[in-house]
Amino acid sequence: MPIPGNLLTTAMAVMPHHYPERALDMALSLDIPFWPQLPNLNYYEDMYVQASEHFPGIQLDLDNRKLSFSMEAFVEEYEEALSHFEEPEFFDISSEYSQVYHAFLKMDLSDRPAIRGQLEGPISFGLNVLDQDQRPILFDDNIRPLMFDFMAKRINVQLERLKQVNPNAFMFVDEPGLQFIFSALSGYDSTRAKTDLEYFFSMIKRPRGIHLCGNPDWDFLLNQDLDILSLDIYQNGEVFSSYAPSIKRFLDQGGILSWGIVPTNFEPFEAETIDSLQARLISLWDFLDQKGIDKEFLVSRSLLSPATCCLVNPDGEKTVEKAFGVVNELSGRLREIFRYG
């Protein structure tokens, strides 16, 4: 099923909450809910840790909140992992690694226009996890192919479980690391990333897309075979809108854009109003309309969300919760302007 647009609301999954029930309440306050990732609850709820479950060679230090990789352990565990490759439950997120995910799966969400899950993507995972020599495992030609296969299976299994709750489920592949491969990063470049991501997405069931908060080469992402692209438009709107031809092609091919417009960090949130955020967003849409992307069509292919995740505010979860409320209010305003609802 296609991902709905029409200025409905969703959000990224990482939340600062310590209590799953409150975080789920906030996720359910949006049109397209998701299961929150709560690293402040415990280290298992960290997005990288959740992606690592059952991957051979992973070393998890809960006391020091450290995730690493051992080649010696990989060699020992590799055959055992392969023996489970046809078992879907092996690739699902266990209740130990996410209390929230399993609570979400038990909910009646059949009346929602869609629901969403997520998993850390292989490029970001491979950049973040270091081996015994403090080298990202993404650079290792022996590890990387298995990592892409492994993460694809994890995404497909989660998507299938979510579709049992709501047939319009879709997945975000969270890839914050994509912005770094366009710098002078040795060992892995954008050419290799393009080949690897094309292979990766060829294995993933639809609907699926990428979320990131950084500022990569947008042509690179807009030309991937994605159903949705989620981004921090609050910080990157001017740069992103300069890629109008690629944006138009992405939308014409059925893509959805999730516009992360409401800041969740305390200082920028306090500096904005709903009027200023509305004006900023409409200004971007007017610019793209002038570049040949019909504004009515664009908003029909658009979702609204907070700009980023945030775990570091001095007021804990309060600003994040306010941002969720502003996203909903802004959606209501814009849906009235564009006659949705």
Per-residue model confidence (pLDDT) at position 189: 77
User: Using one digit for the tens of pLDDT, what is the confidence trace for 85-120?
Assistant: 999 999 999 999 999 999 999 999 999 999 999 999
Per-residue model confidence (pLDDT) at position 185: 60
* 3 domain residue, yes or no: no
Residue 166 has pLDDT above 70, yes or no: yes
Q: Tokens standing for 224?
A: 């991937």
Percentage of residues of the chain with pLDDT beyond 90 = 90
* 126 domain residue, yes or no: yes
Short-list 227, 93, 222, 229, CA closest to 156: 93
User: Using one digit for the tens of pLDDT, what is the confidence trace for 219-255?
Assistant: 989 999 999 999 999 999 999 999 999 999 999 999 9
Domain, as residue range, for 321: 8-337
* 28 domain residue, yes or no: yes
Query: Any idea which residue has 């814009």 for tokens?
Result: 334
Per-residue model confidence (pLDDT) at position 181: 76
Per-residue model confidence (pLDDT) at position 243: 97
* 38 domain residue, yes or no: yes
Q: Which residue has the higher pLDDT, 313 or 180?
A: 313
Cβ proximity of 252 and 296 under 8 Å: no
Query: Any idea which residue has 């949006």 for tokens?
Result: 30
Per-residue model confidence (pLDDT) at position 270: 97
Compute how many other C-beta atoms are within 10 angstroms of the C-beta atom of residue 265.
18
User: pLDDT averaged over the chain?
Assistant: 95
Per-residue model confidence (pLDDT) at position 257: 98
- What is the tally of structural domains in the chain? 1
* 268 domain residue, yes or no: yes
* 104 domain residue, yes or no: yes
Per-residue model confidence (pLDDT) at position 182: 66
* 93 domain residue, yes or no: yes
* 25 domain residue, yes or no: yes
CATH code assigned at 318:
3.20.20
